[in-house]
Amino acid sequence: MDDELTLPPGIGPHNDRELELMLAGTKPMAMFSDALHVSDYFPDADFAPHVAAGTIIRVEEIIPRPPFEMRYLFFALPGEE
């Protein structure tokens, strides 16, 4: 059995390349999630200038899921929201 998953062109993994791909127009949306106050992985600072300029839209949701609250952070190109 082949353990490697073959993904269609343009489908992940995009780890740490989300902003680069979105600015190139090849990735319409990125989502980040983790338990609130558990990690600082969220790339808010990297996306902030593009959000301020209106070239990327930012949406954040915090959802209670005991024992932690979960933080979901979405970035999308205009027209994809």
Domain range summary for the chain, segments of one domain joined by +: 18-76
Question: How far, in Å, CA of 8 to CA of 58, rounded?
Answer: 27
Amino acid letter, 29:
M
Q: Is the pTM of this model over 0.95?
A: no
Q: How confident is the model over 31-68, as pLDDT tens digits?
A: 999 888 887 778 999 999 999 999 999 999 999 988 88
Question: How far, in Å, are 6, 51, 69, 70 from residue 13 at the CA level?
Answer: 11, 23, 26, 22
Contact 76, 29 (CB under 8 A): yes
pLDDT of res. 1: 47
35's tokens? 């338990």
